[in-house]
Homo-oligomer: A and B are copies of this chain.
């Protein structure tokens, strides 16, 4: 049975380092073990690694795709959403989740962090961006030391 109240987005780049891919896969596994639905951007890299991990533990994976065709989804996406709206789909990725886990990531990930924080959706970070504004650190991204801690923090933040 799907528990839609525990949907967690995993965001990160299409070209992760091997370590980032490993972290993302373990995040996916841990989300599945804890009964959460994984939502992501549906493509390769961190998105694929996370979906692979979740699938290996019997979890549900949603991929919200930028393009016009479900064939662009990585092979571990069970539910492809074909938006056709390009990177504006980043908004839907984060809004469809109760919390976001960022693993590494480049500028697309940065845009998703911005959209999530703008919508008051908590962001947990693993080896990702850190922010400061006018020289003052912004600590909105909640740091985690490892995948299990990231998932635990994300699920603790989900309001029942």
Contact = CB atoms under 8 A, between A and B. Distances in A.
24 contacts: A4-B70, A4-B77, A4-B79, A62-B81, A68-B86, A79-B79, A81-B92, A81-B96, A82-B96, A84-B88, A85-B88, A85-B91, A87-B118, A88-B91, A88-B92, A110-B113, A110-B114, A110-B117, A110-B118, A110-B131, A111-B111, A111-B112, A111-B118, A130-B131
A134 interface: yes
A119 interface: yes
Contacts of A41: none
B87 A86 contact: no
Nearest to A98: B70
B86 A91 contact: yes
Contacts of A79: 2, 4, 37, 62, 79
A44 to B, nearest CB: 16
A115 interface: yes
Nearest to A3: B78
Copies of this protein chain in the complex: 4
A107 B96 contact: no
Contacts of A109: 114
A12 B82 CA distance: 19
A64 interface: yes
A108 B111 CA distance: 9
Contacts of A82: 92, 95-96
A28 interface: no
Contacts of A62: 79, 81
